[in-house]
Structure 1
Amino acid sequence: MGTEGDGVRIIAGRYRLETRLGRGGMGVVWRATDQLLGRRVAVKELIQDDTLSAEEARGRRDRTLREARAVAQLSHPHIIVVHDVVEDGERPYIVMELIDGGSLADRIAAHGPIGADEAARIGIALLGALRAAHAAGVLHRDIKPANVLLDGDNDRVVLTDFGIAQVSGATTLTETGSFVGSPEYTAPERMSGARTGPESDLWSLGALLCTALSGESPFRRDSLGGILHAVVFADIRTPEQAAPLLPVVRGLLERDPERRLGAAEAERLLRVFRETGHTPAPVSSGYTPTREDLPRPAPEAPARERSCLLYQPDAADAAGRV
């Protein structure tokens, strides 16, 4: 697979993989050089699943390439730029811009929680990215601090890993019923196997903001079962540090997708907070955040969820609800 030599590997006759930047459950990210254009890039190598049949492996590879090409059409300052999608040795590789900075997860681990103003700034950037992606019919489905990069040079916030974890089977119920990925950031409707849309990304953003403000997801528990119960049924206890942004956080963490705070309104509220230091109640959502709200069980649904990165915006989307 690729061209080997002198400790480096060249894929597609063009991209020289050099230093491994990180590894997750679904892939390895490399610092690399585009030898044709002479620029530094990041390359994500998708890990092969040896438990799949040859036909299943081909189907997953084809879906990965198709969906990554769709993501490559997105253009937004807070969305990672996908330069190329290639296949080498029947394995997909995603070639992206190289961000010289760590992730939001790295920052929290190294320096602890961030302040409300910085959380609002990051939230505004991510909401802009999600609005652009959703308008193009692309769902992220893996919003979490590790997938938010912070450019050390200009404080740019960059949402990365669009859909790659989803097409590889992460953050969703698998055919065997086990759970992989980041359940602490997964919306309750996805947990129950219901049809999902842009609202699921917004729930994940609400959990991310709680983590950024307090250092820990409000749904963290000692076991997977505990996390699933916390997301779907238990009382949602937002951290005290989220108080300045409570209308936004609680609105995004509304269990009913139809009542969940929309992206445009959430962005407006965060901008008001940054300008005035006060977050007003939402005006375009059916949800009015209070601490006394009681959770409602998610509706029963099939155990398996359809794996789909692309969706067709419906009338509610066109009306500007998300």
Structure 2
Amino acid sequence: MHLLSEFRIKDQLPDVVSFTIEGYGLGYESCNVFNTCTFNKPQIELIDTEGDYTVDIVEDNILLDDTATEVTFTVPRDQVDAFTAEIKLELEIADIVINAPENIKFIDKVTLTKLASEKAYSGEKVTVHGIGFIEGDTIITVASKTGRTKANIVSIDGETVDIIVPEDAVTGPLLAEVDGVKSNELTLTIPPSGISVLFGDNGNLLDDRFSVSVAGDSGISLDTVGQRAKQLSKLLSPGKYNIALTANEIPDERGTFYICFSDNIDIISGPSQSSKDQLTAVDQVLSWEVNVNEGEGKTISTCDYSTNTNNDVEVNILWNEL
């Protein structure tokens, strides 16, 4: 037998407080002469662990399910407020007294108990368990590169909050805040995960401009026509994605380009990573389906179209456009 949600915040109690117990044999079975059997409700008593105050729950305020595995009972708030310490819960079932293993406890502020997953990537949903969450008044923040970042809350009730991990989140404390009062902290681990994409114009004429996007985002474009190298770096959780290269300016209908990916990217499918005749019109798009593996994605150790010396990228001019 156990008590669901043994933690409560007194300042947030409703006028009628509900408690639920789960277990087996929470009622005793009685049968009449016609062999019709029903479960009888247990007697429930609440006992102050540091005083003489007790409350006997009225039978009409006790609800027992058909299988005698769940009991829900209600208590007026003024009776709960009269307790001075933790509340011991005692059930009497067919002259057998059973004590709940947990006491009903009162806390002063919103309290976090656990994370459904202690490890997550940016953009993933995480369920935060605790007590004292209030819809519209609860803020969840996580550690980030700039200090702390507010997480987007997608659903909330009194004991759980579902959040989306912010893109700039890093490993560190997650905490809640309700009406300006902060909770305890739980550690959310953000494994290093991201990608890098190097691209540019590698024709002998400095006349083309391209942009690169990942999974349909806004992406980045070359700063100038003919720019030899630009790198996109992006936080990204592992998985399959589409990386697109778009022709923005190609005055001679011959877009000369190259594109290289960080070491944690495996190419599943796509065209050649360098060409002078695959892009012939503005807004034409080439795309690669890739699998992103765990890792920071900061290193591009192999790129057949450029060399990197002391962080200076030298691009091999492969294509003659004359």
TM over 0.5: no
Q: Normalising by the residue count of structure 1, what TM-score does the alignment of the two structures yield?
A: 0.23
Structure with greater proportional helix content? 1
Q: Normalising by the residue count of structure 2, what TM-score does the alignment of the two structures yield?
A: 0.23
Which structure is larger by alpha-carbon Rg, 1 or 2?
A: 2
